[in-house]
Amino acid sequence: MRQPTRAAVAGLPQQVTIYEVGPRDGLQNESEVVPTATKAAFIRRLIEAGLVWVEATSFVHPKWVPQLADAESLLAELGGIDGIRMPVLVPNERGLDRALDNNVHDIALFASATETFAQRNLNRSFDAQWEMFTPVAELARSSGMWIRGYLSMCFGDPWEGEVDQDQVVQAALRLQELGCAEISLGDTIGVATPGQVISLLQALTAAGVELDRLAVHFHDTYGQALANTLAALQAGVTTVDASAGGLGGCPYAESATGNLATEDLVWMLDGLGVETGVDLELLVTTSVWMAEQLGRPSPSRVVAALGG
């Protein structure tokens, strides 16, 4: 299989952690229920390709995301895998109880940087969402859990338009105060550009959000996901969210298209000489297989180029 020519660029990290979201964020919008065994096989294939952070599922109520109603069954089928972290999205206290009952060690919370999306996604106001998250985070910390905080709509909102940068900063500070070891900045509708990314990262670090806590989560609606990722890496970010095959979107934001494809990210990073530990050939094979299970081609450019 063809590999990119390596040409390093100064100012980039030597190693980048890829946080794989395909099994959860990638599959949550599928209209046809994906069998639990297929999801488990997908996750195992991703791990075989070298991904060590794979977000497995969510303990959201099945009424809201029917595709993930099999969370307990999936985790039981997977079991624990040495050296692999499989976080689970936890929306509230009930979700955390389910995580504890299933011996989950890593969880993710999902917050909003805007009022409207908080109302639509969480049924809470921007301010009230923190009241919901506080007891969840406190119990998770006391139980020894690692906590990630997703922050959606950081760069644009389909209802509110441009998002005030200061509000994004304040929301990120709240997640840091809750004890989130990692904060993922989401370009939920894919409207960010590199200058906007750099500006937000500078504002966050100036406000006291630790750079090593920050990850980036870009959607490719306007074809900017890789450019925005490169800008974030040049600014010092070393964790990037991506979805195998470019699967996913956002069920509460109809203008959101697929996530940054993991294969496209790995191709770029391999070409830049940045280590990820991911085997591109195995990853492409995995996404070709998953596309067959879903009955449609992968939107990833690299999968299309190498997997045909």
CA distances from 84 to 14, 19, 46, 111 (A): 21, 11, 11, 25
Taking alpha carbons only, the member of 247, 243, 265 closest to residue 4 is 265
SS3 label, residue 293: helix
**Rounded Cα gap, residues 61 and 305, in angstroms:** 38
Whether 225 and 260 have beta carbons less than 8 Å apart is answered as: yes
- The predicted pLDDT at position 63 comes to 86
- The predicted pLDDT at position 152 comes to 97
**Rounded Cα gap, residues 143 and 97, in angstroms:** 11
Three-state secondary structure along 132-154?
A: HHHHHHHHHHHCCCEEEEEEECC
pLDDT tens-digit readout, 135-149: 999 999 999 999 999
- The predicted pLDDT at position 248 comes to 84
Whether 133 and 178 have beta carbons less than 8 Å apart is answered as: yes
Tokens 């406190």 locate to 138
**Rounded Cα gap, residues 263 and 242, in angstroms:** 9
Q: What tokens were used for 266?
A: 């790995």
Whether 112 and 129 have beta carbons less than 8 Å apart is answered as: yes
Question: What is the share, in percent, of the chain residues with pLDDT greater than 90?
Answer: 91
**Rounded Cα gap, residues 192 and 220, in angstroms:** 9
Taking alpha carbons only, the member of 57, 25, 172 closest to residue 111 is 172
Looking at the DSSP assignment, which residues form a beta bridge with residue 54?
20
- The predicted pLDDT at position 251 comes to 44
Q: What parts of the chain have a pLDDT lower than 50?
A: 250-256
Whether 158 and 190 have beta carbons less than 8 Å apart is answered as: no
**Rounded Cα gap, residues 51 and 37, in angstroms:** 19
Tokens 């075989």 locate to 48
pLDDT tens-digit readout, 60-102: 988 889 999 999 999 999 998 899 999 999 999 999 999 999 9
**Rounded Cα gap, residues 274 and 272, in angstroms:** 5
Helix axes 71-78, 36-48, angle to 10 degrees: 50
Q: Does domain 19-306 have CATH number 3.30.200.20?
A: no
Q: Which residues contact 231 (CB under 8 A, 6 or more apart)?
A: 194, 195, 197, 198
pTM over 0.85: yes
First to last CA, the chain: 11
Residues labelled catalytic? 250
- The predicted pLDDT at position 253 comes to 45
